[in-house]
Structure 1
Amino acid sequence: MAATPSRLPSRLRQAGKVLTSGILFTLLGVGGCLCSLVIPPVLAVLPGGREARRRRAARIIRLFFRCFVFGLEVSGILRVDVDGRPPGPEGVLILANHPSYLDIVVLIALLPDTVCVVKEAVWNSPIFGSLVRSAGFISNQGPEAVLEHCGQALEAGRNLVIFPEGGRTRAGQPPRFKRGAAHLALRTGAPILPVRIAVDPPLLAKGDRWYMVPAPTCRFGLQFGAPLLADPAPVAEHPRAARALTRLLESRFHEESHGSDAP
């Protein structure tokens, strides 16, 4: 009987976090729908050309995500810790591991003029599609088209986030990267900025749902590493160079993940 009072506050805190998580994700979905329906038509009548409209749409998405992350922090669900120097709007290829559903939300909230590759279903969605298209996000419709559009975004000075594993990171397993990011770096010459994300305790990992919120505050750590430049290589040698660069990136992420417990 004596143990019950000590457990009750923890259970109440977790119940409050689950409720808050549900409210925030509902606002994220409903707010995203409203923004997609309202923002693109409004942007279309404002002064400025296509690029001005794209920048405004990207800023709106960033502000929306920042408010969402702020809500998560204020509620005690997570705390974002940043180590290293985040880039400005510099046309940087940002490569990150992907332990949580919230990775792209936190990165876009943190970084200016940053885009990412979205699933075809999101790109063509009647609800969200118009907003992500307006902001210059990139559809994953075909590898060659993705490389071309990603290259254009980097050349225009936008930061581009890619999760080179191609899916959610599996805890306890060494990273296995696809070569698309390496091919993109070799094609564009854009600087590569490795970002290691550590989430402790785990939050919204692969297979988790919005209500799976741990009682302790989750530390959402982002470690920005030193930028890398891919060695230039003739186009004919890109396949071999991409394999070597991918192995180098895998090794770097693996070493950093074992070099410290958190960013």
Structure 2
Amino acid sequence: MLYRTLELTVAPALRAVYRPRVTGLEHVPRTGGVIVAGNHISFADEIFTPLAARRQVAYLAKAEYFTSPGLRGWAMKQFFGGLGLVPVDRTATRAAAASVDVCVDVLRQGRAFGIYPEGTRSPDGRLYRFRTGIARIALRSGAPVVPVGIVGTREVQPPGDRRWHRAPVEIHFGPPLHFGHLAERERSARVLREVADEVRVAVQKLSGQDYVDLYGSNVKTAE
């Protein structure tokens, strides 16, 4: 209900103000499970990607958003749940495995699931190595992966700035990638890496970013 309300009120306002340039929308299926995998340069990515896809896209969110006490906690739970965010406990021992299971369940419900395979926002606007979680989800679910290249959202909300700014935004969707035929090879580290790299190459072509063969989170830690 909340998502529908926002789609009828906030979404038209954002489209009018930012006029995002969207290409490849025909590659996003209107129904059924699909993985929307993109680069991550701003918090605003999670707003503009569903806006461009014209479909509700579920993302993982910290479980704390759904378990905080009191009236504020209740309000947060209703808000994030209404947006379609899915809670996951990232502190659990099997957090990574549990996250994959949650993602697969979302896809089997026929929903669109959004993921940023870099695992973190880019520290400098370049594209970093993809983690293999995207491969596990794709192989286990059999759902198609639609790559998306996001351009301009880093200028809409620069790092460390809570304010939004007017800037050109582009969202480019690519043809779906299919990996269901590799389902029985999920335990192969080589296959997982090859799948993750194939998705990364597709995203990079759409975003036009320079590539850094390092994990973005490691670069942030080093800084």
TM-score, length-normalised on structure 2?
0.75
Report the Cα distance in structure 2 between the residues aligned to 1:129 and 1:145, rounded to whole angstroms: 20
Which sits farther off after the overlay, 233-242 or 87-96?
Answer: 233-242
- CA deviations over 1:35-65 (Å, ceiling 9, x no partner): xxxxxxxxxxxxxxxxxxxxxx4xx224315
Are 1:155 and 2:155 matched, yes or no?
no
Report the Cα distance in structure 1 between the residues aligned to 2:122 and 2:155, rounded to whole angstroms: 12
Q: Percent identity?
A: 26
Shift of the alpha carbon at 1:218?
Answer: 1.6
Report the Cα distance in structure 2 between the residues aligned to 1:159 and 1:119, rounded to whole angstroms: 19
Which of residues 175, 190, 208 is equivalent to 1:226? 175
Report the Cα distance in structure 2 between the residues aligned to 1:239 and 1:62, rounded to whole angstroms: 40
| Distance change in 2, residues 1:168/1:206 (3 Å) | farther
* Corresponding position of 2:214: none
Matched to 2:80, the amino acid is V
Tell me if the contact between 2:139 and 2:186 (Cα under 8 Å) persists in the aligned partners. Answer: no
Shift of the alpha carbon at 1:190?
Answer: 0.7
* Corresponding position of 2:220: none
Are 1:101 and 2:49 matched, yes or no?
no
Report the Cα distance in structure 2 between the residues aligned to 1:204 and 1:159, rounded to whole angstroms: 25
Shift of the alpha carbon at 1:233?
Answer: 4.1
Tell me if the contact between 1:101 and 1:205 (Cα under 8 Å) persists in the aligned partners. Answer: no
RMSD between aligned residues: 2.5
SS in 2 for 1:67: helix
| Distance change in 2, residues 1:116/1:174 (3 Å) | closer
Report the Cα distance in structure 2 between the residues aligned to 1:169 and 1:198, rounded to whole angstroms: 13
Unaligned runs of 5+ in 1: 1-56
* Corresponding position of 1:47: none
Listed as ranges, the matches of 1:61-140 within 5 Å are 61-64=3-6, 67-74=9-16, 76=17, 78-84=18-24, 85=26, 86-109=28-51, 110-125=53-68, 126=73, 127-133=75-81, 137-140=85-88
Unaligned runs of 5+ in 2: 90-94, 210-223
Report the Cα distance in structure 2 between the residues aligned to 1:148 and 1:246, rounded to whole angstroms: 18
| Distance change in 2, residues 1:185/1:87 (3 Å) | same
Q: Relative CO higher for 1 or 2, CA cutoff 8 Å, sep ≥ 6?
A: 2
SS in 2 for 1:98: coil
Are 1:258 and 2:208 matched, yes or no?
yes
Tell me if the contact between 2:172 and 2:206 (Cα under 8 Å) persists in the aligned partners. Answer: no
Matched to 2:129, the amino acid is R
Report the Cα distance in structure 2 between the residues aligned to 1:195 and 1:249, rounded to whole angstroms: 10
Shift of the alpha carbon at 1:236?
Answer: 5.9
Matched to 1:115, the amino acid is A
SS in 2 for 1:195: strand
Shift of the alpha carbon at 1:66?
Answer: 5.5
Shift of the alpha carbon at 1:158?
Answer: 0.4
Report the Cα distance in structure 1 between the residues aligned to 2:125 and 2:83, rounded to whole angstroms: 35
TM-score, length-normalised on structure 1?
0.65
Matched to 2:59, the amino acid is C
- CA deviations over 1:220-243 (Å, ceiling 9, x no partner): 111110000114142563432111
Matched to 1:83, the amino acid is T
Matched to 2:21, the amino acid is D
* Corresponding position of 2:195: 245
